[in-house]
Every structure is written in structure tokens, then in C-alpha cells.
A and B are shown apart, each in its own frame.
Chain A
Amino acid sequence: MADKNRRAFMGKILAGTAGVAAVASLYAMKRTWDPLPSVVSAGFTTIDLSPLEAGKLSIVKWQGKPVFLLKLTPDIALDVNRDIVIGENRYTVVIGLCTHLGCIPEWREGEKIFHCACHGGQYDAHAKQTFGPPPRPLDIPPFAIQGTSIVLGEEGPEYKKMTAQAKA
């Protein structure tokens, strides 16, 4: 009887230790798959918007993602929730990845739409979805206005105002 209890006790100790070791190993395995610190701390990108030509798309890279910069032509109506206004000029600044499955849409200057070739999604000049599977407009990256430039990655007052408006 005493022998049986001792065996059961040893069994429990073994199972407990093995269990802890398994959980610890899983955690270590999960952590090896995490993005490296150098990736996480990818810096801020400052872009001067003044040289942009109205109606023509520019693409810059920020944290490995394409960011669309589009100076809006005056005939396009103001969208207070989405346009970045600097002085007289208005800009669409969005992450250029289709909100459906992450392809990069192309800007069709004549039609004034963004068209995604993967699954046929379309967005207007403010990058709001108008057709197809995209569930939401193209995302606006965190930005802060500094003169005629914007800093991507920093949450400025204009960005905070914009996200608050979008939520309301």
C-alpha cells in the first residue's frame, strides 16, 4: 500500500515537472517566432508633401509597408474624416494595402479610383471602399504635421482628431 502511494506520488511529481517544462518550452518556442526588437522599433519616417503634384500618386515605404501620398485636385470634395489639410492643400495619406487581403491597389488617375487587382476591390480618391470585398477604407497611418512635412509613426493632434471623428 505504502509502495503504491509512493509510486503514485512519484508519478505526480514527474507529470507536474514535465508539464511545467512543456509550458516553458512552448513559451520559448513562441518567443523565437516573435518579431525581433530591431523590427519592432522600426523608426519614424518624415516626408515633405510640398513637392507633390495634384492627382498623381507617390508611394513611400514606412515600416515595410507602402504608404500612398496623393495631393487631391480641387474638384474632389473635402472629407474632414480622411483628408490631411496643410494650408491650401489637401492630401490623402493611407497605407497602400487593400483592407481585404493586403494586395497593393493601383491608382487610376483618369477614373480617380484605387483599384485592387487581386479581388477587384475599388476605393475613391479618399481611399474609401466603393466596390468589392474590402471591409473598410484604406488605413490612415499615425501621422504628425510639421510645417509642410508629415512624420509617419507619430500620433499628432490632427491624427487624434481624425480618429476621434471617425469613431463618433
Chain B
Amino acid sequence: MAHSEKAKSLGEWFDQRLNTTGFIKVMMTEYWIPKDINFLWAMGMVLAFTFKILLISGIFLLMYYKPDVDMAFDSVNYTIMQEVGYGWLFRHIHGVGASLVFLIIYIHMFTGIYYGSYKRGREMIWLSGMLLLILFSAEAFSGYMLPWGQMSYWAAYVITNIFGGIPLIGDELVVWIRGNFYVADSTLTRFFMLHVLLVPLAILGGIVFHFYTLRIPHVNNQKGEEIDFEEEANKYKADRKKVSKVIPFWPVFMAKDIFVLSVFLFLFFYLTFYHYNFAMDPVNFDPANELKTPAHIYPEWYFLWSYEVLRGFFFDIAGLKAADIGLVAFGFAQIIFALMPWLDRSPTVAPANSRPYFKVWFWLMIVILIILTVYGKLPPTGTNAWVGFYSSVSFILLFLALPFVTTKEIAATNAHKQNGGKH
């Protein structure tokens, strides 16, 4: 056994065995964060906390939920909502949390795009974040199925059918995923397993990995400035805190984070107690009926933009079937954000508004995503169908244009510099 002395306190006892002081130093008090940041840098911690809320409320729902086509609907809408003490609270927290977690994910993601935090050594941060977006989407989709209402059923139907578009194996694959020719008990039970075990495990792993990817390239800052973290940390430790460009994760950075988190939690619980209905689609209070499609099917708001890209192509083009084009466009929309670090050819790490071309590109993208989201909820008829078509095409063209836009931007900035900053 290694040498050890008698501990004088409980803290010391643990320190001898686990090196807790060293661990806290590395992970918290000497993990350096840039000083030049704003409230948008708190979104990561807000997300981690929201995930924790979802996990805890989910555990309580799990005690009464029954993953069986004959019992699922009543176990949610009768047992949990009416019999279990505060069951309604956990359900509403879980529903509102699922919606808000995507709001924050999108803010977090577009903050990254706006400040160029996905390139010059930060590619793995971006990719692990995109992986988490996929995992959260899988978690939201599988969870939406569980109350076994009409929307649960038909969302499951439409989404599993998408796999039928894969050449050769499509039809068999759909049956295999469902475990039946249609969405049935086998489908509910296996998606229940995914929702409560496999996907949350993957998310937990994904979060740890996402934190790890931050460690080497460090967090970006408001100006995209390259910081010598070692030098700035030494300044901070030498008590020259004012001139140092960094702050420790704990307690300084977290103090601000907790403030932002508190503001967020006001919104969270305001919605939970007073406006939970936005996360509870009325159609889903009809029990699942496999022989009756609801008049109008739409996903939750956070999937609307990609859903609109899927159905935006409603007529055949050059011999290609409408449905196939839609499917390819949908696939494009799912992966294209992950390719941001390579589509953006400019090495400049700076906020979008200080980049002459990227600025236009960024805000155009936000506008198109909003249009897609709005029209994704409307019935796809008449003018709506055409708005959907043109905005889907614009979305694709916008991303295909990004390499050219950013290459031009480099040329324009260089010319500007040669002119001595004058025109």
C-alpha cells in the first residue's frame, strides 16, 4: 500500500485517497474562461441544468407510465394526471422542458455560428454539439410517442415511414424498425426503451465528451481573439485580475451563469404553471387510432423547419419523384449544419456582424429558418405550398453558396487592407 498519514479532517481523508483538491483545481478553480463574453455563453450550463430537470421529472413519470398500447394513454392522462400526487407537475415540467431545451439548443447553436466558434481548432466542439442535437432529437421523437395519442401515433407513423425511402432495403427496414407492418405495441415498447435508457445514456456520454472537446481549444470570446491562456492565467493567479483576460470557471464564471440560469428558471416555471398548454397538443388528447389520420399532422415547433424542407418539394422535377427529392433535401438539412466548419472557408474568427459578407448570410439563414418554421405548421395547400417550396430551395442554395460567399469575403477583406482600410 502507498504511504499515507492519519487525516486531520474528513476533507483531508478524501484528499489523501482521491486528490480532491487537485481534481477541483483542474476541473473548476483553474479551468480558465475568457473574460470577454456575454450572457449567451451561459447557454451551455442552462442546457446541462435543463437536461437534469428532464432526467429527474422523467424518473418520476417512469414510476407510473405503462408502455403498452392498451394502457399507455390512460397511464398518462388518467393515472399520472389525475391520481398521482403532483403527477401533473412532473408531466408539465417534462413537456415544457422538452420544448425549452430545444429553444436553448438553437440559441446555443446560433451563438456558435454567429461568433465563428466552430473553426480554427474548435471543430470537435461543433461536431460533438451536432451529435448532441441528433441525440436530443431522437430523445424528443421517442418521448413524443409515449402518451400514445393521435399525434404520437401519426408522428411515429410518418417518421418511421421516412426510412422506407432508402433504396433497396427501405420497406423491410420500416417493418424491422416497427417490429410490425404498422406502428404497433412492439413499436411503442422499443421506443420506450430508447427513450428511457439507451438515448439518455448516449446523451450523458455526449455531454461529457462535449465538455472534453472544450478543454484543449478553450471557449471562444466575443471578439474571436486568440488568447494565451497560460500567460493570462498566471496574471490572474498573481492577483492581477483586472489586466488578465481570463477568469476561473468556479466561482467567477459560474456566478454569472447561475444568474442567467435563474432568469431562465423564472421563464421555465412561469410556463410550467401558467402556459403549459403550448407543449401539450390538443390532438394528442385523443387516443391513438390506427385507422384515422388526424386532419392535419405537424411536429412540435422545433422540428417544423426540417419538416417543411421534407414536404416543400411537392411536384416531380426532371423525372425525379417529388417524395424522393423531399427526402434527399431532408437528409441534406439534417447533416448540413455539421459541415459548417468546412463550408465557411474564411479563417476569420469574429462575430458575424463584423464580417461584411457572412453577416448577410447569417441573418438570411435565420430569416429562412423562421419562414420554414412558420409554414411548417400551416396546411401545405395553395400559396403555402409554394412558399414552402421556395424557402426550402433557398435554404439549400444558401448552404451551397457559403463556401463561395466566404471565399469572396477573404478577397474583399484583403483588398480593403491593401487600400489601407480606405475605399
A residues apposed to B, CB below 8 Å: 30, 33-36, 39, 42, 59, 61, 63-66, 99-105, 116-120, 132-135
Contact = CB atoms under 8 A, between A and B. Distances in A.
Given A39-B180, A103-B154, A135-B321, A61 B293 contact: no
A168 B10 CA distance: 85
A107 to B, nearest CB: 13
B158 A118 contact: yes
B179 A34 contact: yes
3 tightest Cβ-Cβ pairs between the two chains A and B: A64-B182, A104-B293, A133-B322
Contacts of B282: none
Contacts of B271: none
Contact of A133 (B291, B296, B297, B313): B313
Interface in B164-202: 164, 175-182, 184, 186, 190
A63 B321 CA distance: 28
Given A35-B186, A65-B181, A117-B293, 13 more contacts: A30-B176, A33-B179, A36-B186, A39-B179, A59-B291, A64-B180, A64-B181, A101-B158, A117-B297, A118-B296, A119-B380, A132-B322, A135-B321
A42 B311 CA distance: 33
Contact of A39 (B154, B164, B186, B291): B186
Contacts, number: 90
Contact of A63 (B158, B181, B315, B380): B181
B292 interface: yes
A35 B291 contact: no
Given A34-B179, A64-B290, A120 B157 contact: no
A117 B154 CA distance: 12
A133 B314 contact: yes
B184 A64 contact: yes
Given A59-B291, A63-B181, A133-B311, A33 B297 contact: no
B177 to A, nearest CB: 7
Nearest to B175: A35
A123 B161 CA distance: 20
Contacts of A64: 180-182, 184, 290
Given A34-B176, A39-B180, A102-B157, A120 B321 contact: no
Contacts of B133: none
Nearest to A133: B322
Interface in B140-156: 154
B116 interface: no
B197 to A, nearest CB: 14
A64 to B, nearest CB: 4
Contacts of B89: none
A120 B314 CA distance: 9
B228 to A, nearest CB: 44
B260 interface: no
Contact of A66 (B178, B179, B180, B291): B291
Given A35-B175, A133-B313, A61 B181 contact: no
A119 B326 CA distance: 11
Contacts of B184: 39, 64
